[in-house]
Structure formats: C-alpha cells, structure tokens
Structure 1
Amino acid sequence: MPKKEDTDVLHKAGTHPDWSESFYFNFYDKGNDLLAFMRIGLKPNKGEKNIFCGMIMPDGTVLATKSDIKSSGSDLSAGGLAFTKEVPEKLWRLSFDGQLFKSDRGKPVPEHVSFEITFDSLNEIFNYRDCVSGYKEQISSRVASEHLEQFGRARGTIVVGGKALSIDGLGERDHSWGIRDWNAPLMWIWITCQFSEIHALNVTKLVVEEGEVDAGFVHYGGRNVPIKSAKVSTAFAQDGAPESLEMALEDADGKVHRLSGIVLKMATLPFKSSDSARLSTLYEPLARFAMGGEVGYGIAEYLVRKS
C-alpha cells in the first residue's frame, strides 16, 4: 500500500506581501470550563510571524496576547508559543511559556501561563477544496483560500498563575495558506463544534463584495461529509458581537442538519489594515450547540469589518 502523502507541510510562498501560512488550534475542556485558542502565522514576504494565544477562564476572564514578531524563520515557534508535529496529519504538541494579559479597568495586567498539550486528531484531514472550486475559489483568494481542517482531543497540563490544571477536551485545528488579508471580507463566520469523539462539524461562510462562499464538513458515521450549503441566521448585540445563531447545513448526501447555538463567553481581537484605513474585529466566542438530542461545544468565530 503506498505511503500517504503528508499535507501538513510548508508551502512555497506566493509573491503577495500578505501571503501567509497559518496553523491554528482550539480546544474546550468542559470539566475545567476552559477554552483555549492559538495561532502561528508565517509571513515570509514581510519577514515576520503573527501569533495570538488566548484563554477564556471559567469566570469569563480573558487572558490573551497578540503580536507581530520579526522573524525570517520557518519554524512554528514565536513569542513563547510552539507547535510541533509528532505524527503527520494525526498528532501535534502545543506548548507555551510566557505572559498572557487580562484587562483591569482598561489596563493590561500580565499573568504567567505555561502549557504542554497533545492534540490527537480524530478524523481524516478535510480539504475545503472538496466544497469550493471555480468562481467561489476565485472570490475567496484573499482570505487564505487553501484550508485543511481536523477535529481532535486535547490533553495535557495548563499552569495559570502557579495553579496547574489537568486538561482533557475536544477541539479543532486549521492549516491554511495563501493571501491573508484580515480586512478583505465583509464578514467571515467560522464555526466548529464537537458533540463527541465521533460526531463533529466545521462550517465556514465567507462574505465578500462579490458574493458568499460556504465550506466545511459534518463528521458522522465515520466519514467527513462535505457541506454544500450553509444557512446561518445570527442575532447580534448592539456592539456587533454575536449572541446566538441558527443553522441549516445541507451536506453532499442531501441530508440537512439543523442546529442552534448560544454564546457563553467571548474574547475579541482587533485587526487593522497596514495603512490603518480599515479595522476588523475578530470575535472568538465559546458557544453551546444543540442538534437533535445532542449538545456540543465549540467556537463560533466571527470576523466583522468595522470600517
């Protein structure tokens, strides 16, 4: 049997200044009521790495850091955050040792945080090209059009302010590459939910001036079934943050999956364009989802252009 090709490799950079290769992980430990999310983005044409790393604690306190670090290296480490591939398309080690910041009356307060986590994937890697081609691929070309997705189990230890927490949760990982312009879309919605180790979903709805692009999968019966269309209705707060949502997802088998979600707690990250002419806000909320008789948890991420 021929050896399977590893798709978790670095790709030859394009020529655009905002060409990026990004690795992202999130997980939610229900027992500790702790959500963690993190990203390392390589921007070789700018000689920098973009990172963010955040946690939402049980009381809703957000601990986070976000920075652009000058570096021409291609290793997946920066600012104390590191991702190490242990088994291709299967097992990753996530580590961090540094300061995350919480807000106290508008002022950042540092908190020392460290973690060692293994992320063990539970499904075959899914390629968004199984959903998107032709014109829709063209109109998504400024938002890292190449996307690989997997859900998995995260286990390890997180230490916050000297207190150690044993972690065991479910989450999602994303590997994307291409032009990454955070201010190009009017909005993107990226939703991940894990109901169990055998049932999960991933949904993207990208909204640009030229139209909308839907992608993702529903994993059930041991298969990743591509999503053909995603209808998402969102209730927003006055400040523009998502509060709840309803979805109808039609998969490639013709099955329609209907589910609802409610935001439990949330972190926000600002993204300014290089000329400061545009501002987008990334909402990174923990949400609880209900579908049929099942309840799951995940991230209902909204990137909304504000100006």
Structure 2
Amino acid sequence: MSLTHDTGQPIEKQPDPDAIVTVLLPEDEYTHTPDAAENYNESMYLNAFDLGLEAGGWFRLGNRVNEGYAEMSVCIYLPDGRVGFMFGRPAIDSNDVMEAGGLRIEVVEPFEHLTVTYDGKVCLLDDPASMADPRTAFRENPIVACSVRLDYRGVSPMYGGKPQYADGRELPVEPGKSFAKAHYEQHCAVTGTITIDAPPAADGEPAGDATVIDIDGLGLRDKSWGPRYWQALTWYRWLPMVFGDDFSMMLSVIDRGPDADGGTQPPATSGMVLVGDEYHKILDCRVDADWNERGEQTALRCWARTAEREYEITGEVLSMIPLRNRRSTPDGEVLHTRITEAMTRYECDGRIGIGMSEFLDQVVDGWPIGVATP
C-alpha cells in the first residue's frame, strides 16, 4: 500500500515496528547462542514411520546447556507391538552440536536434508505401558543394542519460525512460564534402517536374530529453542500424521489456562495440511479421544478446517508408551508431567495413514488434568 502527496509521487507506507512477524532463516537449522535463562532448551525432534510395516519411531535431543546436560530420547515401535526405549541426561558443556548419548542429528542441507544416527542401547518392552514406572521397567526388561541410520528429505514447505517484532526486536519471554520462543515443523520422506538386537538368553548370547526395520516411509520433524519447562502448559494434544508425500497433516490443541479475569477460554488450535506441495493452514480443529482406565488415549475422532475445506479424521492407537517429567520448585513442590506417546493409525478421505498422537498433561492428585475422571 502507498500514499500520494500533491506532487503525485507515491510515498511508501512504513511497516509498523510493533507488528509481530514470523521469521525463519536457513541458519536456524543449526544451533543458536543460548539465552541467559537457566532453562534454555534447543530441541530437535524427528519421527519416521513405514505404513506397510506399521513400525517406526521418534528421536529427540534437547540441549539444556545452561543446566549442563541434554535430554536424549530414542523410541522405536517394533512391528510386533514391542517398544524399544531409551532416555538419558548426558552431560554437555556447549550448544555447538546436536549430539549426546549416542544420538546425533545433523543438518546436511537446511530445509532439505537431515540425518539421524544412534549407536547405543534401548530397553526392550513387551509391555510398553510398564514405562509408567520407569525405574521398575528399566530394571525388569532387557537392555539391548540399537543402531539407527535414517535420512530425512523435505517433501513440504517449512511451517512456523520465530515470532518477533517487525523491527527485529525479540518478544518478551518469561522463562519460568515458557515452553519455547521459536518453533517450526516440516513433513519429510524418510529412508534407512533401524536395528535392535534380540534379548540375551541365559548364557548371555542373543536369543534369536536381531530385528531389522527397513524404513521407506514418511515422518515429521520439528525444532524449537528458548526457555522451556515441561510444566509451562496445562495440557496439549499434538497429532502429526502422514498419508502420502502429497497429503499429510499436523493438528495441535493447547490449553491456554484461565484468561486475565480468571475465567475459562477455549484451547488454542493450529496446524497445517499438506496438499500436493503446499501447506494449507488449519484455522480450527478439534480432537476427541477414547480413554482406557489409566486415562491414556486409545482412539481418536478429529475435525479440522482450513480456508479450503473441512476434514474428518479418525485414529486408532497401535502402540503407546507413557513417559513422565518431574521437577521440584524452589519451595520443594514436586511437579509431575505425563506425556503419552502413541503410534497411531489414521484414516481421512478414505486414505490410511500413520503417525503419532502425543498427549501432554500435568498430573494433579494422581490424574492427568486434561482427561475426565472416570
């Protein structure tokens, strides 16, 4: 838009410096200089699924360099229903690379090509639900070798980035209440191999052949950075799913807590639908779930609306592992967050897809806060 004065020459209207814009640069694919906040977190997450095998997994590194460690997670969903899982807090002293605990995430070409490698161990769970008590689960289940070699190549544009003021100023962030100051996602084609050794027999030798999962499928990757506490949000529902390299989705529903007057407000909804080679932004969505006796999702009924059309999606949980994060406040209160990570089969428009349903809830009085009490 432009204005004119009495000479007839156009005068360009200057952008509002206080307008909020979203910025994403190729260098954001690499690590950033950490904020001063103690809970600064630089996180990369990638999942991968093969629909024909109904198998796959996800991988995450969260560098908490100001706290001296990284959060490292590897989760593999085997075709027979077992889950291989490992979590650790390996020590780090810099934020220069995304590599810790045997897991490495490397950017080959920004926005185009990444690799994930892992050489380490996983706890092999016949009953993934037993990870609700991680100490017992790690003690009573075999720990076996695991190798991951995966290539990720973008099949979509980038979604998201860093909100900031138009003149380049950063938005204010309250570290104690922050989950991230920047976040972006992308759907990818994924190829490679995941290998998990068989558990040992009584003589210590492997009791059978290793499980080799040859992935030729799709997935989603995301990245975020900035201060994070897992307790900063009351609850959320995050559903990344892939039907094909021309049709994929991500649905997000986040509880926003009370409004300024202490009243309730509707959850924040967002996401995108990959149609062909472009993203259609989700303007509104809804996620309803069926629950088991532990308040874990078992089936989903979802609705989403873009400017172009509406979608109805159903989901069936194939394999689920419950995870947790605990943090003590300065006054000694223990805060407990539960995250149920479920490989889920989806259906939309007659097409079958696969992906995740990740549900985060704060646990209050022993029950996840976003789940109705049975």
TM-score above 0.5:
yes
Are 2:299 and 1:263 aligned?
Answer: no
Are 2:153 and 1:120 aligned?
Answer: yes
Asked if structure 1 preserves the Cα contact closer than 8 Å seen for 2:82 and 2:124, the reply is yes
Equivalence for 1:183: 231
Matching residue within 223, 236, 250 for 1:202: 250
Equivalence for 1:134: none
Equivalence for 2:112: 90
Asked if structure 1 preserves the Cα contact closer than 8 Å seen for 2:339 and 2:359, the reply is yes
Q: Percent identity?
A: 22
How far apart are residue 145 of structure 1 and its match? 4.1
How far apart are residue 236 of structure 1 and its match? 1.6
**Counterpart mapping for 1:93-112 below 5 A:** 93-103=115-125, 106=137, 107-112=140-145
In structure 1, the residue corresponding to 2:343 is in which secondary structure? strand
Equivalence for 2:358: 301
TM-score normalised according to structure 2 size: 0.74
In structure 2, the residue corresponding to 1:296 is in which secondary structure? strand
Asked if structure 1 preserves the Cα contact closer than 8 Å seen for 2:244 and 2:353, the reply is yes
Asked if structure 1 preserves the Cα contact closer than 8 Å seen for 2:26 and 2:111, the reply is no
Are 2:183 and 1:156 aligned?
Answer: no
Q: State how many pairs are aligned.
A: 297
Query: Alignment RMSD, CA only?
Result: 2.2
Task: List alignment gaps of at least 5 residues for structure 1.
Answer: 131-136
CA–CA distance in 1 between the matches of 2:212 and 2:291? Answer: 36
CA deviation profile, 1:48-72 (whole Å, cap 9, x unmatched): 1111001111221111111112211
Letter in 2 for 1:158: I
Are 2:295 and 1:237 aligned?
Answer: no
CA–CA distance in 1 between the matches of 2:26 and 2:45? Answer: 21
Letter in 2 for 1:124: P
Which structure's CA Rg is the greater one? 2
Equivalence for 2:134: none
Higher strand share: 1
Equivalence for 2:344: 287
Are 2:202 and 1:173 aligned?
Answer: no
CA deviation profile, 1:167-216 (whole Å, cap 9, x unmatched): 21111101111222112222111111111011101111111423422221
How far apart are residue 274 of structure 1 and its match? 3.7
How far apart are residue 154 of structure 1 and its match? 1.1
Equivalence for 1:144: 180
Asked if structure 1 preserves the Cα contact closer than 8 Å seen for 2:56 and 2:215, the reply is no
How far apart are residue 295 of structure 1 and its match? 1.4
Moved more, 5-14 or 86-95: 5-14
User: Aligned pair in 2 of structure 1 residues 33, 284: CA closer, same or farther (>3 Å)?
Assistant: same
CA–CA distance in 2 between the matches of 1:218 and 1:11? Answer: 29
In structure 1, the residue corresponding to 2:67 is in which secondary structure? coil
Task: List alignment gaps of at least 5 residues for structure 2.
Answer: 1-24, 131-136, 164-171, 198-209, 259-264, 365-374
